[in-house]
Structures are given as structure tokens and as C-alpha cells.
């Protein structure tokens, strides 16, 4: 039994003080309307407030018709190339795409064969952790949260870097490439340590591959026997490409710009971005999707019955099922309305993997929920725009079929998004902009000071 830590207790005194803090923090919602403040920096249609410019990626969910902006099928572009074209390109050649798309996002060009081969060798070279890092850092005080472990490990790498604070572009690029390559080891070794010390499972630490793709290396160091099928590795490769980047306005990429603009070091910037992605409103959604479906499979007797599945979805919205949050996880997106292109791409590969794993019935249930959820939501709630499944809807199912523990779902997202964060950090530094400091309007009233003896 673990020793009780009294400093973790939420005492009645803390509860009382927290209520005072809550009361002090509440702002009349009518003031946001009065001063035209966009809460969450978005309007009612989900359109973000313009806060900067980027040349890295583009997220499109509307088109102009007769001078008006109307919803359309979603499109995602990396450096001007549509993502589904990139995926189709390397898929038809039976190649892995992570390294190629990393090159594209960082350098704004598709590499030729020689450039790609040299870049792949560079990423493999950077897979080596400092001597004794696993023993001295990862194995000590393992956290139950792998995003915490990843952030802590990245911050610790600062101490091993002789040029940690150098923000020149060549040095920052070197740091970013190293972190892109090291994130799988930091995450998975952290999970192995936690699984061993807290759950009593066998401990195994595989050395990273000295060849092969990012996806292959992840499955190699994760699995006890290091084995995987070609389909498994290729689908993981596609999952990571679809999670690599999503515009400058998503919470963690915006965090990257904000913290980079202060000219702090790369390790601090990436730890801040990880802290953002860790939040369930951002990177943790696919875990909720998986948990929701596990509950659904228990509650719904006939997975093919549209009426029974619809009733369960209605119960979710009415806070009568699963976690009583009133949400159908994996459905809806801040930008996309008619469709999320990442979900469409992923779905085409998910069915193949479900057949390989003997889980086609589960896939059909996902397919049915994708069909029914928009109708159920529109029947229960006022909609300002359309709604469709997002990439998290299927990615959790993929990770489950790949045998990834849920503790690693969000770190896999972070491993992929490290590429996008790196591109945004380089872009912010290249433009040598001002420190990002948006305005906040104060609505507090001026008060006369009261002496301590006169306060009641």
C-alpha cells in the first residue's frame, strides 16, 4: 500500500478558499457581449479570431458561394499540399510517409530520393538518449500520466544540452529534430517503468532500431517481442501523419508561438505545448471515445439496431449514460462541420485493420454511430453549424487494435505533433516577431483601501 501524502488532501479550509476564488473569478457573461469579446477567441460559428499568419498548414471548412461563406467538406493542407494527396502518394508506392511529411513541414518542400534518405538517416542518428538517462531519469518516480512523464523528460534534457539556451535557427532545428526522434523512447520507456513499478508487469526496455521508420520503431520498442505486421506499421504511420499538424490556431500550436515569442529555450516551449495537448479538450479526446464505446457495447444489446443505438446516443446527450457529461465523444469539431478529412482518410484503413484483427463487428458499430450521431445531436440541440465525426473518433479504435495501452494514446498524438510544433517554433523565430501579448480589458471596480483593524 502506498504511503498517504497529506499534502495531496483537499481540506475543508481549501474548499472554503476555493469558493472565494471562484466567486472572485466569475465575470458576468453579458460583459463579454457588451465589449464584443470572443470567448475562447471564437465566434458562435466557431471561426477563430485572427491572431497571426502561418505558411505551414491550412484548415478549410467553408467556401464562398454568391459572396457568402458556407460550410463545405473539410480539407487539410500541409505546406499547400492536400493531406489525402500526400497519403495517396506514399501509400501507392508502399512507403512510409512520416519522415517525408516531416521534411515537408519543416522545409516547405517535398524531398527528392537523396534528400529523403539523408534526412531519414539523420532522424535515426538522433534516436540515442544520453547515457544512463533511462536509469537515472525515466526509472525514478514514474508518473501514472505519460504526458507528465514526457514533459518532465524533455525539460530534463535541457541539462544535457551544452547549447540549451541558444535560439539561433540552426541550433533550434537541431534540438527539434532530436526531440522528434526521442519522443517515442521518452514516452514508451516511461510507460514501461510505470507498468513495472505500479502494476507489477515485467520490465523490458528495447534499444531503438538503427533503421526503419518512426512507426516501426514505436511498435518495436513497445511490444515485448518487437513484432508487428506491415499493415499495423503503415496504419500507425498514417495516424501520426494525420496528427502532425493542424494550423497555428489549435491550442498547443498557439501555445508554441506564444512561448517561443518570449525567446525561451526549445525544451521549455515543447513542455508547454505538451501541457496544452494533455488537456481532455485537446489531445485526450480519443481516450474518451474508446471508453464511451466500451460502455456502449455493454449497454446496447444489438449493435446493428439503429433504434437501440440512437436511444443510447440520446442518453449520452441527456447525461443519462457513460460519464454523464452530455457529450458524444469524437463527434464535432471547432472548425470542421460537414466532414473532417483526417477521419475520412483514417476510416478507409481502419476497416482493413479491423478485418485483420477479427473486429469487423466493432467497426460496423463505429460506422453506425458515425451515421446516427449528427441526426441525434441536431434533434436535441440548436446547431450553429453542421457536425461530423473527427479524427479522434477512429484513432482510439486504431490504437486499441494495435494493442497500445490507453496511457499512450495522447503521447502518440504528441509524438506526431512534435513535428508541427517544431515547424511553428521555427516560423516564429524566423519572423523575429514581437512577444505575443494580447489585450485583456479589466472590468473590476476601483476601491478605497481599508485598514486591517477596520475590516469586517
HEC per residue, the chain? CCCCCHHHCCCHHHHHHHHHHHHHHCCCHHHHHHCCCCHHHECCCCCECCCCCCCCEEEEEEEEECCEEEEEEEEEEECCEEHHHHHHHHHHCCCCCHHHHHHHHHHCCCCCHHHHHHHHHHHHHCCCCCCCHHHHHHCCCCCCCHHHHHHHHHHHHHHHCCCCCCCCHHHHHHHHHHHHHHHHHHHHHHHHHHHHHHHCCCCCCCCCCCCCCHHHHHHHHHCCCCCCCHHHHHHHHHHHHHHCCCCCCCHHHHHHHHHHCCCCCHHHHHHHHHHHHHCCCCCCHHHHHHHHHHHHHHHCCCCCCHHHHHHHHHHHHCCCCCCCCCCCCCECCCCCCCCCHHHHHHHHHHHHHHHHCCCHHHHHHHHHHHHHHHHHHHHHCCCCCCCCECHHHHHHHHHHHCCCCHHHHHHHHHHHHHHHHHHHHHHHHHHCCCCCCCCCCCCCCCCCCCCHHHCC
- Cα 287 to its chain centre, rounded Å, is 11
Q: How far is CA 145 from CA 148, 393, 408, in A?
A: 5, 22, 9
Mean pLDDT of 228-237: 96
Give the domain CATH number at 337. Answer: 1.10.230.10
The answer to whether residue 1 scores a pLDDT higher than 60 is: no
Does some domain include residue 6? Answer: no
- Residue 370 sits in which domain range? 284-402
The answer to whether residue 203 scores a pLDDT higher than 70 is: yes
Give the domain CATH number at 244. Answer: 1.10.580.10
| Three-state DSSP state, 70 | strand
- Quote the percentage of the chain above a pLDDT of 70: 98
- Quote the percentage of the chain above a pLDDT of 90: 84
Q: What is the pLDDT of residue 2?
A: 63
pLDDT tens digits along 281-329:
888 888 899 999 999 999 999 999 999 999 999 999 999 999 999 999 9
| Three-state DSSP state, 247 | coil
Q: How many domains does the chain have?
A: 2
Strand (E) or helix (H) holding 58: strand 57-65
Does some domain include residue 233? Answer: yes
Catalytic residues: 333, 392
Q: What is the pLDDT of residue 395?
A: 93
* pLDDT confidence tier of residue 382, bands split at 50, 70 and 90: low
Same domain, 100 and 181: yes
pTM of the model: 0.93
Same domain, 219 and 116: yes
Mean pLDDT of the chain: 94
DSSP 127-152: TPPPTTHIIIIITSS--S-HHHHHHH
Mean pLDDT of 1-16: 88
Same domain, 256 and 139: yes
* pLDDT confidence tier of residue 122, bands split at 50, 70 and 90: very high
Same domain, 335 and 374: yes
Q: What is the pLDDT of residue 383?
A: 59
Does some domain include residue 441? Answer: no
* pLDDT confidence tier of residue 45, bands split at 50, 70 and 90: low
Same domain, 192 and 311: no
* pLDDT confidence tier of residue 178, bands split at 50, 70 and 90: very high
Q: What is the pLDDT of residue 384?
A: 54
| Residue that terminates a domain, selected from 385, 402, 419 | 402
pLDDT tens digits along 258-279:
999 999 999 999 999 999 999 8
Mean pLDDT of 17-36: 93
Mean pLDDT of 75-85: 97
pLDDT tens digits along 126-164:
999 999 999 999 999 889 999 999 999 999 999 999 999
pLDDT tens digits along 239-253:
999 999 999 899 999
Does some domain include residue 34? Answer: no
Does some domain include residue 63? Answer: no
Does some domain include residue 64? Answer: no
Q: What is the pLDDT of residue 66?
A: 85
Does some domain include residue 37? Answer: no
Same domain, 148 and 162: yes
The answer to whether residue 385 scores a pLDDT higher than 70 is: no
* pLDDT confidence tier of residue 13, bands split at 50, 70 and 90: very high
Does some domain include residue 219? Answer: yes
Q: What is the pLDDT of residue 262?
A: 98
Q: What is the pLDDT of residue 299?
A: 97
Amino acid at each position: 500500500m502506498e504511503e498517504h501524502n497529506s499534502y495531496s488532501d483537499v481540506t475543508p479550509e481549501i474548499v472554503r478558499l476555493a469558493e472565494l476564488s471562484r466567486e472572485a473569478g466569475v465575470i458576468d457573461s453579458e460583459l463579454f457581449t457588451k465589449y464584443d469579446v470572443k470567448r475562447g477567441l471564437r465566434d458562435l460559428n466557431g471561426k477563430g479570431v485572427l491572431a497571426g499568419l502561418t505558411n505551414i498548414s491550412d484548415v478549410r471548412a467553408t467556401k464562398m458561394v454568391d459572396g457568402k461563406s458556407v460550410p463545405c467538406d473539410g480539407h487539410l493542407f500541409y505546406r499547400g499540399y492536400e493531406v489525402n494527396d500526400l497519403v495517396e502518394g506514399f501509400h501507392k508506392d508502399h512507403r512510409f510517409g512520416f519522415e517525408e511529411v516531416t521534411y515537408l513541414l519543416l522545409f516547405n518542400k517535398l524531398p527528392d530520393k537523396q534528400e529523403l534518405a539523408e534526412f531519414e538517416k539523420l532522424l535515426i542518428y538522433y534516436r540515442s538518449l544520453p547515457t544512463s538517462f533511462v536509469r537515472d531519469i525515466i526509472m525514478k518516480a514514474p508518473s501514472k500520466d505519460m504526458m507528465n512523464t514526457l514533459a518532465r523528460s524533455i525539460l530534463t534534457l535541457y541539462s544535457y544540452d551544452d547549447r540549451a539556451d541558444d535560439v539561433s535557427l540552426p541550433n533550434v532545428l537541431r534540438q527539434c529534430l532530436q526531440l522528434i526522434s526521442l519522443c517515442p523512447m521518452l514516452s514508451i520507456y516511461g510507460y514501461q517503468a510505470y507498468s513495472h513499478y505500479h502494476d507489477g508487469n515485467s520490465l523490458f526496455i528495447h534499444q531503438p532500431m538503427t533503421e526503419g521508420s518512426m512507426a516501426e520503431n514505436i511498435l518495436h520498442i513497445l511490444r515485448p517481442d518487437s513484432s508487428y505486421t506491415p499493415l499495423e506499421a503503415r496504419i500507425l504511420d498514417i495516424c501520426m501523419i494525420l496528427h502532425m499538424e493542424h494550423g497555428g490556431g489549435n491550442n498547443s500550436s498557439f501555445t508554441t508561438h506564444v512561448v517561443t515569442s518570449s525567446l525561451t529555450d526549445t525544451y521549455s516551449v515543447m513542455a508547454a505545448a505538451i501541457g496544452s495537448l494533455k488537456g481532455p479538450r485537446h489531445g485526450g479526446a480519443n481516450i474518451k471515445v474508446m471508453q464511451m464505446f466500451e460502455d456502449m457495447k455493454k449497454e446496447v444489446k444489438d449493435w446493428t439496431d439503429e433504434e437501440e443505438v440512437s436511444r443510447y446516443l440520446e442518453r449520452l446527450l441527456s447525461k443519462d449514460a457513460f460519464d454523464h457529461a452530455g457529450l458524444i465523444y469524437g463527434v464535432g469539431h471547432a472548425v470542421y462541420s460537414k466532414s473532417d478529412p483526417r477521419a475520412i482518410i483514417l476510416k478507409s484503413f481502419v476497416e482493413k485493420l479491423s478485418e485483420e484483427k477479427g473486429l469487423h463487428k466493432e467497426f460496423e458499430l463505429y460506422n453506425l454511430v458515425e451515421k446516427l450521431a449528427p441526426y441525434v445531436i441536431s434533434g436535441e440541440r440548436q446547431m450553429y453549424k453542421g457536425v461530423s465525426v473527427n479524427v479522434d473518433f477512429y484513432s482510439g479504435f486504431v490504437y486499441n487494435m494495435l494493442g497500445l495501452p490507453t496511457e499512450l494514446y495522447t503521447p502518440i498524438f504528441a509524438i506526431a505533433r512534435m513535428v508541427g510544433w517544431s515547424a511553428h517554433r521555427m516560423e516564429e523565430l524566423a519572423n523575429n516577431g514581437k512577444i505575443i501579448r494580447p489585450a485583456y480589458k479589466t472590468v473590476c471596480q476601483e476601491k478605497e483601501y481599508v485598514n486591517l483593524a477596520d475590516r469586517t
